[in-house]
Amino acid sequence: EPEVTQTPSHQVTQMGQEVILRCVPISNHLYFYWYRQILGQKVEFLVSFYNNEISEKSEIFDDQFSVERPDGSNFTLKIRSTKLEDSAMYFCASTWEADTQYFGPGTRLTVL
């Protein structure tokens, strides 16, 4: 069964460094999402992406964040200058249309 994959599973970085989190959505899906969960808190929406552009973003998704679908298969989330409060589990999700979103296993980002 097709699945969403994410790499790396765990990323440790120093404050101020750039990180890129990678996702490979299910191949025929058209809508892509990033969510995050800070430890002990709710899963929060970050951004949705459709037709090669951002369709919606949350207040969290400020100028430090960007998303890209560079080659038609990968979907990346870049954080330009990480802060301590960016430490969280980041989930990628994809869907064919406005229906069930399929989630990857997440990347745990630790900012020191």
Partner 1 sequence: ILNVEQSPQSLHVQEGDSTNFTCSFPSSNFYALHWYRWETAKSPEALFVMTLNGDEKKKGRISATLNTKEGYSYLYIKGSQPEDSATYLCAFYNQGGKLIFGQGTELSVKP
- Sites of contact with partner 1 (CB under 8 A): 3-4, 31, 33, 35, 41-45, 48, 50, 55-56, 58, 91, 98-106
Nearest distance, CB of residue 87 and partner 1, angstroms: 17
Give Cα separations from 69 to 13, 52, 101 (angstroms).
Answer: 23, 7, 18
Q: Which is nearer to partner 1, 18 or 56 (CB)?
A: 56
Contact 94, 27 (CB under 8 A): no
Longest Cα–Cα distance in the chain: 39
Q: Give the three-class secondary structure for 108.
A: strand
Question: Shortest Cβ distance from residue 50 to partner 1 (Å)?
Answer: 8
CB of 96 to partner 1, least distance (A): 12
Based on CB atoms, which residue is closest to partner 1, 17 or 89?
Answer: 89
Question: Is residue 8 a contact partner of residue 73, using CB atoms and an 8 Å limit?
Answer: no
